[in-house]
């Protein structure tokens, strides 16, 4: 008769926010990761506001075969920087793991928020595309002459989940920047008011940053969740996106 277990195996979780290495103790790990979020676009000096940066592509609970005791190389996608007045933001970096027995899908960085133009607001960035596995996207909203449009809801295939695109900046017709929606309609990243910037795109780890009001810079995204920075309001810079992260789980 079995009356109990001695030292039962437990899931051990390691959160990695900087590039380096990880040495597994077993032959299989579960990987969750996200690419870096993009920076928001800067607003035009006298025209439209900047679009929000997109979130990076995520991977959830991917079973990766590894060799116990053999290090994996971890690259964390860098954050995209917010654009100066009249300039696009920069894209987020890719997050990757190499050294396993098979290839691990890459978490691509988000696309940059566009700068505001003389009349129209800047476009929201498009989320990372998982090149080589399945093309998945979260569309950024297109800037126009009035209030900014909200971003599109992303598509995902299997374990890969695109970040959401950024909201568009408002044009000179005035109005708020478009919101950066998450995977549901609740708690979006808001756009700025009065020719305001678009909100940044979300990821599996959280929501993007808010767009700036007129003459106010877009907000920076929270650290290491891969989300997009807010677009700058008219005559203001965009906010920085968020670097990516890797979470590794082992049962031992």
pLDDT given at position 193: 86
| Mean pLDDT for the chain overall | 84
Question: Scanning the structure block, which residue is given the tokens 């079973």?
Answer: 63
Average pLDDT on 2-10 reads 59
pLDDT given at position 136: 46
pLDDT given at position 133: 44
- Binned at pLDDT 50, 70 and 90, residue 176 comes out as confident
Tell me: pLDDT of 37 over 60: yes
Question: Scanning the structure block, which residue is given the tokens 């954050």?
Answer: 79
Token duo for residue 157 = 């295939």
Query: What is the H or E stretch that residue 22 is in?
Result: strand 20-22
Tell me: pLDDT of 182 over 80: no
Tell me: pLDDT of 1 over 50: no
Average pLDDT on 111-135 reads 75
Question: Scanning the structure block, which residue is given the tokens 């678009």?
Answer: 198
The C-alpha atoms of residue 124 and residue 118 are separated, in whole angstroms, by 16
- Binned at pLDDT 50, 70 and 90, residue 45 comes out as very high
Token duo for residue 80 = 């995209």
> Of 204, 168, 171, nearest to 51 (Cα)?
168
- Binned at pLDDT 50, 70 and 90, residue 195 comes out as confident
Tell me: pLDDT of 163 over 80: no
pLDDT given at position 131: 45
pLDDT given at position 121: 86
State phi, psi for 186 to the nearest 5 degrees: -85, 145
Give the Cβ contact number of residue 104 at 10 Å: 21
pLDDT given at position 252: 85
Residues 6+ apart with CB under 8 A from 69: 23, 24, 25
Tell me: pLDDT of 143 over 50: yes
Tell me: pLDDT of 149 over 80: no
The C-alpha atoms of residue 48 and residue 64 are separated, in whole angstroms, by 46
Q: Which residue has the higher pLDDT, 175 or 212?
A: 212
The C-alpha atoms of residue 231 and residue 114 are separated, in whole angstroms, by 8
Tell me: pLDDT of 138 over 70: no
pLDDT given at position 9: 76
pLDDT given at position 218: 95
Cβ atoms 187, 180 nearer than 8 A: no
pTM of the model: 0.89
> Of 108, 138, 137, 110, nearest to 41 (Cα)?
110
Cβ atoms 125, 54 nearer than 8 A: yes
Cβ atoms 109, 52 nearer than 8 A: no
């Amino acid at each position: 008769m079995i009356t109990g277990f001695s030292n039962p195996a437990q899931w051990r979780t390691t959160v990695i926010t900087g590039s380096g290495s990880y040495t597994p103790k077993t032959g299989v790990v579960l990987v969750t990761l996200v690419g870096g979020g993009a920076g928001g676009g800067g607003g035009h000096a006298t025209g439209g506001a900047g679009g929000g940066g997109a979130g990076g592509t995520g991977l959830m609970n991917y079973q990766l075969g590894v060799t116990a005791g053999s290090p994996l190389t971890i690259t964390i996608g860098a954050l995209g920087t917010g654009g100066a007045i009249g300039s696009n933001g920069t894209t987020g970096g890719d997050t990757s793991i190499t050294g396993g027995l098979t290839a691990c899908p890459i978490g691509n960085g988000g696309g940059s928020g566009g700068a505001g133009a003389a009349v129209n607001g800047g476009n929201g960035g498009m989320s990372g595309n998982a090149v080589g596995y399945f093309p998945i996207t979260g569309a950024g909203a297109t800037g126009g002459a009035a209030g900014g449009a909200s971003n599109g809801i992303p598509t995902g295939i299997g374990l890969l989940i695109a970040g959401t695109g950024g909201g568009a900046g408002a044009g000179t017709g005035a109005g708020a920047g478009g919101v950066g929606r998450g995977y549901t309609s609740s708690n979006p990243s808001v756009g700025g008011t009065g020719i305001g910037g678009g909100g940044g795109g979300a990821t599996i780890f959280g929501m993007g940053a808010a767009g700036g009001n007129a003459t106010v810079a877009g907000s920076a995204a929270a650290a290491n969740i891969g989300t997009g920075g807010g677009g700058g309001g008219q005559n203001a810079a965009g906010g920085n996106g968020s670097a990516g992260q890797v979470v590794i789980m082992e049962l031992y």
